Amino acid sequence: EADIYQTPRYLVIGTGKKITLECSQTMGHDKMYWYQQDPGMELHLIHYSYGVNSTEKGDLSSESTVSRIRTEHFPLTLESARPSHTSQYLCASSESSSGRKTYNEQFFGPGTRLTVL
Amino acid sequence: KNQVEQSPQSLIILEGKNCTLQCNYTVSPFSNLRWYKQDTGRGPVSLTIMTFSENTKSNGRYTATLDADTKQSSLHITASQLSDSASYICVVFDRGSTLGRLYFGRGTQLTVWP
């Protein structure tokens, strides 16, 4: 069982609200990721981070923003939620690849199911 | 274009039966291929990881195979249990970038009936 946590697990909010999805990991991993997943569809990378003070946008354009002030914490923020943001958001982390560690295995959190009315 | 295609999209089997899920990919350069199990409303959990030189790997009742020449992989589940009901996702890791990109399939939704 991976030590990566997400809160809240479920969130239902109205349009226009500001929300923050929390993600924390206790494995000391440098790399962290946010994915968006709609039912029956593949995961899409929306943000990633190589380490503290590093944030990059992923393949799928997203109106959300992220921050990485501490190694263990990688929150995602939506300034003004809209119904189009309704989705499942998955956080993941991995060690930096070095030497024999070439798998870059990502460990996933349980996800946050966001519904914007 | 790097892609991962899985089949079938969904599958229903009876408890105790075996099944095989398929994955075809076009990702290059290839580093490794993973199979994940994702329960409804949960994050994916890794079942197996195989590199270019490995053509089979087992994890309990799960056995994955890889043919790097034809770019195909399969996941065989033996003596299925009700708890095997989940989405099984094939993921290919591209070593050609600093981040190391993961390419995800859409998954096969497996339902095991009693």
Average pLDDT, 10 consecutive residues per value, chain B (114 residues):
90 97 91 93 91 91 95 97 97 74 92 96
Q: For residue A100, what pLDDT is reported?
A: 47
The predicted pLDDT at position A97 comes to 60
Residue B38: what pLDDT? 95
Place of tokens 């991993």: A29
pLDDT over threshold 70, residue A18: yes
Which residues 26-45 of B are in CB contact (within 8 Å) with A?
31-32, 34, 41-45
Asked if the Cβ–Cβ distance from A97 to B99 is below 8 Å, we say no
What's the CA gap between B37 and A96, in Å, rounded?
23
Tell which of A59, A98, A103 to mutate to test the B interface (max B CBs under 10 Å): A103
Strands A19-25 and A4-7: antiparallel
Cis status, amide bond into A83, omega within 30 of 0 = no
Query: Which chain B residues contact residue A90 at CB under 8 A?
Result: 43-44
Cβ–Cβ below 8 Å for B106 and A42:
yes
Quick one: pLDDT at residue A2? 60
* pLDDT tens sequence across A98-116: 544 456 788 999 999 999 9
Q: Which of A48, A103, A110 sits opposite B49 (nearest CB)?
A: A103
Confidence (pLDDT) at A25: 96
Reply yes or no on whether the pLDDT at A17 is more than 90. Answer: yes
- List the beta bridge partners of residue B48: B35
- Partner-chain contact B41 A111, CB within 8 Å: yes
With vertex at residue B3, the alpha carbon angle to CA A31 and CA B55, rounded to the nearest 5 degrees, is: 80
Chain B interface includes A98 (CB < 8 A): no
How open is the CA angle B114-B41-A23, to the nearest 5 degrees?
Answer: 150
Q: What is the pLDDT of residues A40-69, one digit of tens each?
A: 889 999 999 999 999 999 888 888 999 999
Q: What is the pLDDT of residue B31?
A: 84
pLDDT in tens, A66-99: 999 999 999 999 999 999 999 999 999 998 765 4
